Amino acid sequence: MTDRKINWDAWSPMTESDKKAASQQQYASTILVVMTFVNIVFGVLMITKILPVYLGMVLAFCAMFGIFLIAKKRLIDKDESLWETPMEFHQRMNRKIMHQWTRTCFITNKNISPDDDTARFTREFDAWVSVEGQKIVEDDARGSDPSEENRIIFSEWYQKDEADAANDEWRAYHNM
């Protein structure tokens, strides 16, 4: 279920995600009304002694649980959970965003798969570089006449790798 705020202003058209959120909110409100009505019916049946109290309570509980399961199945997506922590929520949303967003290699200008965890990021140019692009950068930067961009990217990665290696060495020495 979504936790997005819906802009109900008349002047802005609703996006598809806003329509989905509105539909889910309407469905959830309807389920609450149905649950309330079912509880009232069981309450009346128990007060008028048509149904014994113990049986009415068990049936009311079963009805609420059934309605809850139906609503959960219709409102919650497959990868969602009612009891996820904020960190799990953000990880799930990041996975969704990453699968919708394709990265483009700064060097080769080819798309990088969202599942490709070997692509590297260059902060200097605020861009991603694929494995193929990394090889091009490295070969050019180590060549006799490197381009300025490739030299900058390679030196940034070299410094980061050296810092990571020093940190790993320090952690190993101090048993962390």
Residue range 39-68, pLDDT digits in tens: 999 999 999 999 999 999 999 999 999 999
**Of 35-39, 76-80, 97-101, where does the model show the most confidence?**
35-39
Q: What is the pLDDT of residue 51?
A: 93
Q: Which conformational region is residue 22 in: left (phi greater than 0), alpha (psi within -120 to 50 degrees), or beta?
A: alpha
Q: What is the pLDDT of residue 9?
A: 61
Q: What is the pLDDT of residue 110?
A: 87
Sequential DSSP letters for 121-137: EETTTTEEE-HHHHHHH
In the predicted structure, residue 112 carries a pLDDT above the cut 60: yes
**Of 116, 85, 118, the residue nearest 101 (C-alpha):** 116
Q: What would the mean pLDDT of 151-175 be, rounded to a whole number?
A: 87
In the predicted structure, residue 12 carries a pLDDT above the cut 80: no
141 and 172 Cβ atoms separated by less than 8 Å: no
How much is the mean pLDDT over the chain? 84
- The distance of Cα 6 from the centroid of its chain, to the nearest Å, equals 19
**Tokens 């990217």 found at:** 153
Distance, in Å, from the CA atom of 89 to the CA atom of 101, rounded to the nearest integer, reads 18
Q: What would the mean pLDDT of 22-35 be, rounded to a whole number?
A: 90
CA distances to 128, 134, 148, 157, 171 from 145, rounded to whole Å, are 23, 17, 9, 19, 38
Q: What is the pLDDT of residue 19?
A: 79
In the predicted structure, residue 24 carries a pLDDT above the cut 80: yes
> 74 or 8, which is more confident?
74
Distance, in Å, from the CA atom of 152 to the CA atom of 128, rounded to the nearest integer, reads 14
Domain ranges of the chain: 16-78, 94-173
Distance, in Å, from the CA atom of 169 to the CA atom of 176, rounded to the nearest integer, reads 10
**Of 50-54, 120-124, 172-176, where does the model show the most confidence?**
50-54
Q: What is the pLDDT of residue 102?
A: 67
Q: What would the mean pLDDT of 122-131 be, rounded to a whole number?
A: 86
Residue 73 binned pLDDT confidence (cut-offs 50, 70, 90):
confident
HSE-up of residue 4 (Cα within 13 Å, Cβ side): 17
